[in-house]
A and B are shown apart, each in its own frame.
Chain A
C-alpha cells in the first residue's frame, strides 16, 4: 500500500511536470490554432540560455552571488524568448496567415530545427547545470504507517506548485479578459479575426512570448532535474498525450491530462510492465490517451470539434 501510494504520488508529480510543457502547447494552440511542435525546442533553448547566462554572469559582472546570476539569467533568457517570439511572428507566422493547420504544424517543425541548431551554436552542446536552489533530497511521509515511508521528491512538489499557479493565471486570462477572447477568436478564424481589426502580429508576439515564458519555467524545472542538454527537447514527446487527453484548447485540461497520464504510465510501468517485459510507459501513455479520445474525441476538456453542414 505504501508503495502504491508512492507510485501514485510519483505519477502525480511526473504528471505535473508534463503539464508544464503541455501548457505551452495549449497556450499557442488556443491563441492561434497552431499546434506548436517547437515547444520542446523552446524549452531546451530557454533552458540553455538560462544555464549558460547564469554561468557567464559572474564573469561579466564580477558579482559572485548565485541569486544575482540566476535572476540576471532569468531576465536575459526571458528577453531572448521575447526576441524569438518576435522573430517567429515576423518571419514565419505572419506570412502564413490563414493557412491550414498542418502547414502551420510543419512550419513549427522547421522552427524546431532552427532552434535546435541555434541553441547549440550559441550555447554549446554539452550538459549544463541549472541550480536555482530547488531541493533535491526526498521527503518521506507517513513513516509511521508504512515501512520506509512514502517517498516524494521535494523538487517535484515545488514544480507542481508552480505549474498549478501558472494554470490558474492562464485560465483566468483566457476566460475573463478581452484579449483572451480575441485570442480564441484568432484560433477559430485568422481571416475573420483580421477583418475585425485584431492585430494578429501583436497578438502572436504576445502569445509566443508567454509560451516562451512557460517554456522557460518548464526548462528551469526540467533542466535542474535532468541537466540541460539536447535530450531536454524530447520531453515534449511526453507532453503530447497529455495535451490531447486534456484537450488542445483547455488550460485546466493540461493539468488534469498530465495527472492522468502521469499516474497511468507510472502505475502501468510498475504493475503491468514486469509482465510485458518493461519499458511500456511511453506507448502506454499514448494508448491511454487514445482510449479516452475514443469516448471524447476533443479530449476531456477541449472544445467540441465543430462539424456541421
Chain B
C-alpha cells in the first residue's frame, strides 16, 4: 500500500495539562477508503478526531507526543482552517449548529472556504437538500429550534457543503431515526464511491459502521486494541459479543441481558 492519506503515529493527548487521554494511538487512513474508529464511551474517539482536525486547543487539550501527517505533511501545527483548506473537515459530535442562523444559512457557512463560485455552491446545496429533504422543509427555521435529528442532519450537510476530500465524522448516527441512519451511511458510501471522498468515522453503532467501512480500529481506554478489515472484525467473536451484542451467534434481547452482567476489557 502506498503512503496513506492520513497517518497518525503514536500520539498522546493531554487535557488541561493533567488528564492523559490518548496513550499512543496510531492509525492510517488510505485515500478513498472508509475507516471506522470504534470503541466505548470515553475511549478517546472524539479526542483522536480533534487531534487530527486540530480542534484540541479550544478544549485545552494538546498533542504531547507522536506525529500526524496528511499526505506526508506534518499537520500538528496547522490551524483548523488550514486543515479545511486541505480538504479535511470534521463533523463535530453533539451537532454544534449555529443556533441563531437558519438551517440554510448554516449550510451556506459550510461553503465559506469554497472559491468555485455561486453556481457550484448552489449545486452542492441542492445535493444536500436531496440527501436530507427534511432540511429543505425547515430551511428558514433557526437551527436552535429544530429537533435533535434535524440538527444532526444540518451538521453533516454543513460539512458536505465544503466539498471535502476527507471527512471526520463523529457519531453521525446519534439521535437519527433508523431510516435516516441508513441514509446517512448510504450517503457516505455514495460520496466515497462517486467522488472518492475519504472518511474517518467514529461510531458507536458498530453494526452499521462495520457494514459500510473498509477497515476498522477499536479503541479502548486511549489505546488501539484491535484493528483489521471491517469484514474480519465483524466476524471476530469478541467484537460480535461486545460490540454487536450477538453473543453466541444470535442477537440477544435487551430484556434478557438484564439478568446477568459481564464486562470484558482487552486491557485492564
Measuring CB to CB, which residues of chain A are less than 8 angstroms from any residue of chain B? 97-98, 178, 181-182, 184-185, 187-202, 249, 303-304, 306, 308
Contacts and interface: CB of A to CB of B under 8 A. Distances in A.
26 contacts: A178-B111, A178-B112, A181-B108, A182-B109, A184-B100, A184-B105, A185-B109, A188-B98, A188-B101, A190-B58, A191-B92, A191-B96, A194-B55, A195-B53, A195-B91, A195-B92, A195-B96, A196-B84, A196-B89, A196-B158, A197-B81, A197-B85, A199-B81, A249-B100, A308-B144, A308-B145
A136 B83 CA distance: 55
Interface of B: 53, 55, 57-59, 79-81, 83-85, 89-92, 96-101, 105-106, 108-113, 142, 144-145, 158-159, 162
Contacts of A303: 100
Contacts, number: 93
Nearest to A200: B81
A194 B81 contact: yes
Contact of B97 (A97, A192, A199): A192
Contacts of A202: 81
A249 B89 CA distance: 29
Contacts of B55: 191, 194-195
Nearest to A197: B84
Contacts of B99: 188-189, 306
Given A189-B96, A195-B91, A198-B113, 6 more contacts: A181-B101, A185-B98, A191-B92, A194-B58, A196-B162, A198-B81
A196 B95 CA distance: 12
A193 B110 CA distance: 9
A306 B92 contact: no
Contacts of B144: 306, 308
Nearest to B111: A178
Nearest to A187: B100
Contact of A98 (B59, B106, B145): B59
A176 B40 CA distance: 44
